[in-house]
Structure 1
Amino acid sequence: MRIVGFLFSLGPILFGIGFLAPVIASVMGAAGLDAPVGLSAIQFGLITGIILGVIARQRKTWLW
C-alpha cells in the first residue's frame, strides 16, 4: 500500500510527463515553433511538463 500511495503522490508529475509533454510538443510542431537552446520539441515538452507537475504537486492544485 505504501507503493501505491507513493505513486499517487507523484500523480501531477506523471501527468506532466505522460500528457502535457506530448501535447506541448504537438502544439509546437503544429505551430511551426522551434524549441529553445537546440532542444527537440519533445525534450522541451518533457522539461516543461515536469516543471509544471512539480509546481502542481507542491501547491497541491493545478489552478493558479
Structure 2
Amino acid sequence: MERALKLVAGLLPIAFAFAFLVPVFDQGMQALGITVPLGISTLTLALIIGGAWGLFAQVTGRWI
C-alpha cells in the first residue's frame, strides 16, 4: 500500500500539468487570439508546454 501511494504521489506533477496547466494554456491562447506557427493547434502547443513543464517538475522536484 505504501509503495502504491509513493508511486501515485510521484506522478502528481505530471498529472497536474496535464489536468490543469494544459487546459489553462489552451484556453488562454484561444482567448488572446494567439496564432501558433506551423499550422498546429493551440491544444498541441499547450500539450508541449504543459508536458515539458510537468516533466521538469517531475525530474527536479520543483516547478520554478
Residue 3 in structure 1 maps to residue 38 in structure 2? no
Q: Which runs of 5+ in 1 are unaligned?
A: none
Which of structures 1 and 2 has the bigger CA Rg? 2
Residue 55 in structure 1 maps to residue 52 in structure 2? no
Matched residue, 2:26 = 25
Give the superposition deviation at 1:47.
1.5
Superposed CA RMSD: 1.3
Q: Which runs of 5+ in 2 are unaligned?
A: none
TM normalised by structure 1 equals 0.84
CA displacement, residues 17-61 of structure 1 (integer Å, 9 cap, x when unaligned): 010000000110011012233221112111111100111111111
Q: Tell me how many residue pairs correspond in the alignment.
A: 63
Matched residue, 2:44 = 43
Q: Displaced runs of 4+ in structure 1, greater than 4 A?
A: none
SS, match of residue 34 in structure 1? coil
Q: Which amino acid aligns with 1:15?
A: F
